[in-house]
């Protein structure tokens, strides 16, 4: 994964520290029947982070970009009201059927966002019920 940022990240870094204090883990609430497992879907991740980020003046952008050679990338950009940003780029194979591509984009969006914000996935609702103190 490639990364980029504005020249200064002083303001967005402080804002991310504040937002991070409010962001916990995301529950693996979606079912994957193929692997017979659970996962945290994109909607759950966005629901978890949207309000804390917006409170700190940060918006999430996830456009698909191409480089000068025509290679496609999914960019996840955390953009602060100050104009500062932090971005991560993941190569994206755009071949195949549109439905397959849509699934691939969604998959990368959720993993990239979860990775950039260090969001752990919680295995079950019982763990949430424990209301453990975050460290």
| pLDDT at 128 (0 to 100) | 45
**pLDDT for 41:** 85
What's the confidence (pLDDT) of residue 121?
84
What pTM was estimated for this model as a whole?
0.82
* Confidence at residue 10, expressed as pLDDT on a 0 to 100 scale: 98
Name the token pair of 73: 């990338």
- According to the model, what pLDDT value does residue 135 have? 42
CA distance 76 to 88: 5
Q: Digits of tens for pLDDT over the chain (135 positions)? A: 678 999 999 999 999 999 999 998 887 766 666 666 776 789 989 999 999 999 999 999 999 999 999 999 999 999 999 999 999 999 999 888 999 999 999 999 999 999 999 999 887 655 444 554 544
Q: How far is CA 83 from the centre of its chain?
A: 19
Q: Is the four-CA dihedral 52, 25, 41, 110 of positive or negative sign?
A: positive
Q: Are strands 30-32 and 37-39 parallel, antiparallel or unpaired?
A: antiparallel
Three-class SS of residue 91? strand
pLDDT of residue 134: 45
Please report, for residues 4, 78, 120, the alpha-carbon distance to residue 116 in angstroms, rounded to integers and kept in the order given.
Answer: 12, 9, 11
Give backbone dihedrals phi and psi of 130, rounded to 5 degrees, phi first: -65, -25
β-pairing, 26-27 with 121-122?
parallel
Cα Rg of the chain, angstroms: 16
Reduced to 3 states (helix: H, G, I; strand: E, B; else coil), residue 93 is: coil
């Amino acid at each position: 994964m490639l990364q980029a940022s504005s020249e200064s990240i002083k303001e967005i870094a402080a804002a991310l520290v504040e937002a991070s204090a409010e962001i916990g883990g995301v529950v693996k609430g979606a079912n994957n029947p193929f692997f017979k497992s659970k996962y945290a879907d994109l909607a759950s991740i966005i629901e978890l982070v949207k309000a804390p980020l917006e409170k700190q003046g940060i918006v999430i952008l996830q456009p698909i970009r191409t480089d000068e050679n025509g290679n496609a990338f999914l960019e996840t950009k955390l953009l602060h009201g100050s104009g500062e940003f932090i971005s991560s780029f993941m190569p994206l194979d755009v071949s195949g059927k549109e439905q397959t591509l849509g699934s691939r984009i969604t998959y990368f969006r959720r993993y990239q966002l979860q990775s950039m914000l260090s969001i752990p996935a919680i295995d079950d609702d019982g763990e949430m019920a424990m209301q453990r103190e975050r460290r």
